[in-house]
Chain A
Amino acid sequence: MSARQSARPRRIDDALSQLVDSLTPPLSHADLRGEYEGDAEEALAAAEERRHQKYLERSWHILNSYTSPSNDLASPSGSIAYGVNRRGSLAGGENVNNAVDLIKRKLLRENDSPEQAVRFSNLYSRLLTQPVLSQKWAILFLLYRLSSTDDYEEPGIEESVSRSPQFEPAGLNNMMYKGQRMNPGRSRVMEFSDEDGPAVSSSASQIPARAERQAALRRQQEINAEREPEPEPETSAPAARAREARTTRSRANTGVREPPPEEPKPVQSEQDSEQEQKPNVPLEEGLLRDLPFNLQGLSSSNLQFASTTILNLPPSLPVPIISLLNCLAEPCLLYRGISAFVGSTTSGLLSQSLQAALSNELRSYLGLIATLEGEIRRALASPPDANDLRSATKTGVTLKRCVVWTRDATMALRLMNLIVEEAQHKKGGQLISLIHGFSTSHGDPFVGAFAEKLLSHVTQPFYDMLRSWIYDGELSDPYKEFFVVEPESRPNIDPRRTATSVWDDKYQLDDEMVPSIITQDFAKKIFLIGKSLNFIRYGCGDSGWVEDYSKEASKELHYGDTAGLEASIDEAYKTTMARLIHLMDDKFKLFDHLRALKSYMLLGQGDFIALLMESLASNLDRPANSQYRHTLTAQLEHAIRASNAQYDSPDVLRRLDARMLEYSHGESGWDCFTLEYKVDAPVDVVITPYALTQYLKVFNFLWRIKRVEFALGSTWRRCMTGARGVLGSVDDKVGSDWKKARCVIAEMIHFVCQLQFYILFEVIEAGWDKLQASISKPGCTLDDLIEAHNEYLKSITRKGLLSSSKSSSSSSTSSSQEEDFLNQLHYILKIMLAYKDAVDGLYSFSVAEFTRRQELSAKIETRTAQGRWGLTDDDILPSSARLTRAHKDSVSSNMSPSLAAYTPNLGGDEIGSPVSLANPGDLSADDQMLASLQGRLRDLSAEFRTRLNVFLGDLAYQSNVDMRFLGVVMNFNDVYQPIRKRRSAAGGSSRDKQRARRRAAAANDGATAATEGSSTVSASKEQPARREKKPSSTGGNGNDSSSAN
């Protein structure tokens, strides 16, 4: 134990003496010149020995001075006078790394590249693996210490002439300050520098914490120094430099050149020098240091954000700097605003993508700030020229330069801010339009390019939506940003779309939201594509095709590729439209349905309609409430089977149905009967329920005309056949009546035929032709189809006199006009039917007359055969009843069935009224009946003419050429005098008066002037007149009421 104790000092001694030897250069003879000339060798050795001893002693002294006060290896505090005592905790293990760190930092600090530090790290790791050394840290520490001598050694060697021993510890102390940066007066700054000094390019995330620390530091210093807030060094390197600069300057000022820079600066003197330097520190430097933080929207001691839009500038600055700061404040504030927007939560994919794009831009802005910060740091860190207040100017960074450097960024920020402000209340397409507006219509190419850049990011979600829309037909738009919207509540205002139409109402085009990168036409196209796809999928149940299509055609869409986009959309448009039309045609037989509607509902299939009417006629003559659906459908079936309709496809015939409309009391079956054509799911997009009611309307009108034609035709036939037989024999009595009746009926038939011809050929066929042309066009879409069909229906109803669509006239007159045409026609048709009934009455009267004469002549014949007088006086009066009854059976046997229907009445009437027959005025009763019939016929024909004149007058002033032509055709030889009604001024009463006068004139034109009849008619209106007439006529012969109405 003791041996080892003694051994150790001895080994130390040996090693130390060797070290001293190696450190001291050998003395030369020149050193000892002139002292010991003789035994130079000896003297040299002696001197060396002396010197060796001296150094050794000194070394021992130093060593002891470290070790003796305490055994703690790590505590070097002992003899060192001041400043180091706080370093007492430089102990043991923790310093292993401490020394390494110190070396690393030193290397980093003193060299431009980290290469050396890296090399050192490698070496150190290798050293750690070596088991030989036990005091690795100590050696490293020693090396570290020795290394720092380098800086001082040179000037020290050059400058120092002599040094007092007591100065040494202080020198050492200074060395330690230099090395470890442990100055009590500046400890904070130093610590900070040790931590962050090398981290020049600190990341943004550290900035706030750092700024906080700086703020704390500044505060501390302010408190310590009790000075006005001045920009303080934030970074160690500049701080140290500045301090060095200051110390040199102070030394220069005091004229003390001697103390070398590494000399200890006592805290007191340091502070003194700082105080002395304070006013000279350029203010701009501090502002520059703060600038990077201000530019990121953070407050600094000089520039504080009062609110999001206000930045307070320190009031005590010179005007030029204030103006510069004003320039610089703009990006600061803008950045704050934009980053607030970027951080906020917005709903809407496009807003989010806008945020993302903006944050991208902000990132590049931050990049700019980072380089700016680097520049500022380097400028502040570079050794400034002593005494030069504007040193920053030379090193390259000034506030002014910062303004210039941030100019572009400020422009970008300004634009972004503008966008942010305007984007507040916009969404979806409007947002894109907004940015697109900047990119296309702004004069500044910078702004244009910037907006363009933004646009490519912002539009991405839009194009995703577009893609799913035009390729899948799906609307994936959770925030309602697309220009196709799915209306939540379907507006049911339009009566034409009472039923929900998948095609029209499921999606709607929102013009507001169409972004300006897409034209309106294009948007419509896109809308139609998606709608069609959606319709194919859901309406037509063909989702398989849609999926295949989307798989093969779908591709990514991007902003900027306008030509490609257009091409792909055109492609998609063509494909989907073709597919849709194909489906409509092939799968759903739309065109077949249209054709069927035309041939059945619009009476295109003549043989079918004729057969149906013939078979239904007897049935429909009965009142409406005695009509049964099964009989109707049976007759319909019969008509189908017997006509060419049987060759139509069963699918079409299946849809054809006969039914009764809602009827009111007193209507006959004719009024209520209707055909119906049923249309189901996807086809009803084209043939809408509204269109079906239009068809029904047209059918009912045509059916009525047809029925009148039918009735007139049967009457005409009867009187033609009758003229050869029955009527010819009574020519002397009713011949003139029949002649007139034939004229009027011919007129009526002419009218009806012209009307029917007009409607069927001029209107329906022409419309159908147009429809065919438009739907067989190559690029036809479903919308075109719907449009064409609507147009077709409109032209039919308008030109078919069912409704008027005079756009020039106001709605009230047009509606009255509409009422006029339809009502006029209905009235004319009613008159015709009434006239037909009257003619039937005349016919039966004629037949009765004929029978009587026949009987009479037969009697005369038999009497002549018996050899008596053919005609006696008593024959004429009392026996007539008996004779008539006797003849009845023979007449009924060879009479037509319709006539047979009247005869029982005739007979019954005579039986029921024996008194009247016994009446001597029997013949006069007959004459009375004839007179009333004549009056009735005359009235009705006059009424018909008047009505027709009015109708023709209206027609002549129609805007439509075809309708005017109808008027011309009906009045081709100017038989009628069309009357132009005065629409506005003339009230109902004056019109009636006019009409009455005209009718009176017409009646006067008649051959026989039955004054009392015409006066009644002209005095009262038509309807009462007819009603008034009725009892008298039924009293005469009740047959005419049976078929009336």
Chain B
Amino acid sequence: MPPSSQADDKRQAAREVIDILHEISTLLNTHLDRTELSLCVSLIENGVNPEALAAVIKDLRKETGAASRGLAEQAQQYE
């Protein structure tokens, strides 16, 4: 089946791209896993500003980090 094989090819290519990008991202210590990376790729492919996306990710990381930290501190206070 040509269409399916085409799709297979496409997926194969996409996986390869993600592989490469993942390697680059590990080189750069971005702490992104494969799913996050592929999500980012799809977002950017859809026209999201990469700078903005980077800002979002950082922001989210900060938030979650702060939140967990804050909770931890709260817990300490309780004890």
Binding site for B on A (CB under 8 A): 8, 11-12, 15-16, 18-20, 22-25, 30-31, 33, 55, 58-59, 62-63, 65-67, 73, 76, 103, 106-107, 116, 119-120, 123-124, 126-127, 130-135, 138-147, 149-150, 153, 156-157, 160, 162-163, 168, 172
Task: Specify which of A62, A106, A144 lies most central, judged by the most chain B CB atoms within 10 Å of its CB.
Answer: A62
Residues of B within 8 A of A119 (CB): 23, 27
Residues of A within 8 A of B31 (CB): 146, 150
Closest A residue to B25 by beta carbon equals A143
Known: A30-B75, A132-B14, A143-B30. A25 touches B68 (CB 8 A): yes
Residues of B within 8 A of A66 (CB): 49, 51-52, 55
Residues of A within 8 A of B28 (CB): 103, 106-107, 143-144, 146-147
Q: Could you tell me the distance in whole angstroms from the C-beta of B75 to the nearest C-beta in chain A?
A: 7
Known: A20-B60, A119-B27, A132-B13. A76 touches B41 (CB 8 A): no
Contact B25 A123 (CB under 8 A): no
Residues of B within 8 A of A123 (CB): 20, 23-24, 27
Contact A163 B60 (CB under 8 A): no
Task: Specify which of B13, B52, B65, B75 lies most central, judged by the most chain A CB atoms within 10 Å of its CB.
Answer: B52
**A126–B22 alpha-carbon span in the complex (Å):** 13
Closest B residue to A120 by beta carbon equals B27
Closest B residue to A116 by beta carbon equals B27
Closest A residue to B65 by beta carbon equals A157
Contact A150 B75 (CB under 8 A): no
16 sampled A-B residue pairs with Cβ under 8 A: A15-B46, A19-B40, A22-B33, A22-B36, A58-B63, A62-B55, A127-B17, A130-B13, A131-B13, A132-B14, A141-B51, A145-B58, A146-B25, A146-B28, A146-B57, A146-B58
Contact A160 B66 (CB under 8 A): yes
Cβ-closest 10 pairs across A and B? A147-B28, A66-B52, A145-B54, A146-B30, A142-B50, A76-B51, A138-B50, A59-B56, A19-B39, A66-B49
Residues of B within 8 A of A31 (CB): 71
Known: A127-B21, A162-B66. A139 touches B50 (CB 8 A): yes
Contact A23 B61 (CB under 8 A): yes
Contact B36 A19 (CB under 8 A): yes
Task: Specify which of B23, B55, B65, B68 lies most central, judged by the most chain A CB atoms within 10 Å of its CB.
Answer: B55
Contact A141 B50 (CB under 8 A): yes
Q: Could you tell me the distance in whole angstroms from the C-beta of B44 to the nearest C-beta in chain A?
A: 5
Residues of A within 8 A of B49 (CB): 63, 66-67, 73, 76
Contact A62 B42 (CB under 8 A): no
**A103–B28 alpha-carbon span in the complex (Å):** 8
Using a CB-CB cutoff of 8 Å, which residues 4-49 of chain B contact chain A?
Answer: 10, 13-14, 16-17, 20-21, 23-25, 27-33, 35-36, 39-49
Contact of B45 among A106, A116, A133, A146 (CB under 8 A): A133
**A1002–B42 alpha-carbon span in the complex (Å):** 153
Q: Could you tell me the distance in whole angstroms from the C-beta of A695 to the nearest C-beta in chain B?
A: 103
Closest B residue to A9 by beta carbon equals B46
Contact A146 B56 (CB under 8 A): no
Closest A residue to B41 by beta carbon equals A139
Residues of A within 8 A of B39 (CB): 15-16, 18-19, 22
Contact of B43 among A15, A76, A107 (CB under 8 A): A15
Q: Could you tell me the distance in whole angstroms from the C-beta of B56 to the nearest C-beta in chain A?
A: 4
Q: Could you tell me the distance in whole angstroms from the C-beta of B47 to the nearest C-beta in chain A?
A: 7
Task: Specify which of B17, B28, B57, B71 lies most central, judged by the most chain A CB atoms within 10 Å of its CB.
Answer: B28
**A62–B47 alpha-carbon span in the complex (Å):** 15
Contact of A23 among B20, B36, B52, B71 (CB under 8 A): B36
Q: Could you tell me the distance in whole angstroms from the C-beta of A166 to the nearest C-beta in chain B?
A: 13
Contact of B59 among A62, A76, A130, A133 (CB under 8 A): A62
Contact of B52 among A25, A63, A143 (CB under 8 A): A63
Closest B residue to A17 by beta carbon equals B39
Q: Could you tell me the distance in whole angstroms from the C-beta of A110 to the nearest C-beta in chain B?
A: 9
Contact B56 A63 (CB under 8 A): yes
Task: Specify which of A18, A58, A139 lies most central, judged by the most chain B CB atoms within 10 Å of its CB.
Answer: A139
Given contacts A55-B63, A63-B48, could you give 20 more A-B pairs where the C-beta distance is less than 8 Å? A8-B46, A15-B39, A19-B43, A20-B60, A58-B63, A59-B56, A62-B55, A63-B49, A63-B56, A73-B47, A123-B23, A126-B20, A127-B21, A135-B45, A139-B41, A145-B50, A145-B51, A146-B31, A146-B54, A160-B66
Contact A120 B65 (CB under 8 A): no
Residues of B within 8 A of A149 (CB): 30, 58, 61
Contact B44 A139 (CB under 8 A): yes
**A427–B70 alpha-carbon span in the complex (Å):** 88
Known: A73-B47, A140-B24. A22 touches B35 (CB 8 A): yes
**A409–B60 alpha-carbon span in the complex (Å):** 60
Contact of B16 among A20, A130, A150 (CB under 8 A): A130
Q: Could you tell me the distance in whole angstroms from the C-beta of A4 to the nearest C-beta in chain B?
A: 11
Residues of B within 8 A of A126 (CB): 20
Q: Could you tell me the distance in whole angstroms from the C-beta of A553 to the nearest C-beta in chain B?
A: 68
Q: Could you tell me the distance in whole angstroms from the C-beta of A316 to the nearest C-beta in chain B?
A: 48
Residues of B within 8 A of A16 (CB): 39, 43, 56
Contact A12 B48 (CB under 8 A): yes
Residues of B within 8 A of A8 (CB): 46-47
Residues of A within 8 A of B10 (CB): 132
Residues of B within 8 A of A133 (CB): 17, 41, 45
**A58–B52 alpha-carbon span in the complex (Å):** 12
Q: Could you tell me the distance in whole angstroms from the C-beta of B30 to the nearest C-beta in chain A?
A: 4
Closest A residue to B73 by beta carbon equals A161
Residues of A within 8 A of B57 (CB): 19, 23, 146
Residues of A within 8 A of B13 (CB): 130-132
Contact A65 B66 (CB under 8 A): no
**A66–B43 alpha-carbon span in the complex (Å):** 14
Closest A residue to B71 by beta carbon equals A31
Residues of A within 8 A of B36 (CB): 19, 22-23
Residues of A within 8 A of B60 (CB): 20, 23-24, 55, 58-59
**A107–B28 alpha-carbon span in the complex (Å):** 8
Contact A62 B52 (CB under 8 A): yes
**A123–B75 alpha-carbon span in the complex (Å):** 45
Residues of B within 8 A of A143 (CB): 21, 24-25, 28, 30, 32
Q: Could you tell me the distance in whole angstroms from the C-beta of B33 to the nearest C-beta in chain A?
A: 8
Residues of A within 8 A of B48 (CB): 12, 63, 67
Closest B residue to A20 by beta carbon equals B60
Closest A residue to B35 by beta carbon equals A22
Q: Could you tell me the distance in whole angstroms from the C-beta of B21 to the nearest C-beta in chain A?
A: 6
Residues of A within 8 A of B45 (CB): 133-135
Q: Could you tell me the distance in whole angstroms from the C-beta of A560 to the nearest C-beta in chain B?
A: 56
Contact A156 B62 (CB under 8 A): yes
Contact A11 B46 (CB under 8 A): yes
Residues of B within 8 A of A150 (CB): 29-31
Residues of A within 8 A of B23 (CB): 119, 123
Residues of B within 8 A of A163 (CB): 62, 66
Closest B residue to A168 by beta carbon equals B59
Closest A residue to B68 by beta carbon equals A25
**A160–B67 alpha-carbon span in the complex (Å):** 12
Residues of B within 8 A of A58 (CB): 56, 59-60, 63
Residues of A within 8 A of B52 (CB): 62-63, 65-67, 76
**A131–B10 alpha-carbon span in the complex (Å):** 10
Closest B residue to A90 by beta carbon equals B51
Residues of B within 8 A of A24 (CB): 60, 64
**A16–B36 alpha-carbon span in the complex (Å):** 10
**A62–B51 alpha-carbon span in the complex (Å):** 10
**A62–B10 alpha-carbon span in the complex (Å):** 32
**A145–B60 alpha-carbon span in the complex (Å):** 14
**A149–B61 alpha-carbon span in the complex (Å):** 10
**A106–B57 alpha-carbon span in the complex (Å):** 20
**A145–B54 alpha-carbon span in the complex (Å):** 6
Contact B44 A135 (CB under 8 A): yes
Residues of A within 8 A of B27 (CB): 107, 116, 119-120, 123
Task: Specify which of A22, A103, A107 lies most central, judged by the most chain B CB atoms within 10 Å of its CB.
Answer: A22
Task: Specify which of A11, A19, A130, A156 lies most central, judged by the most chain B CB atoms within 10 Å of its CB.
Answer: A19
Contact B62 A23 (CB under 8 A): no
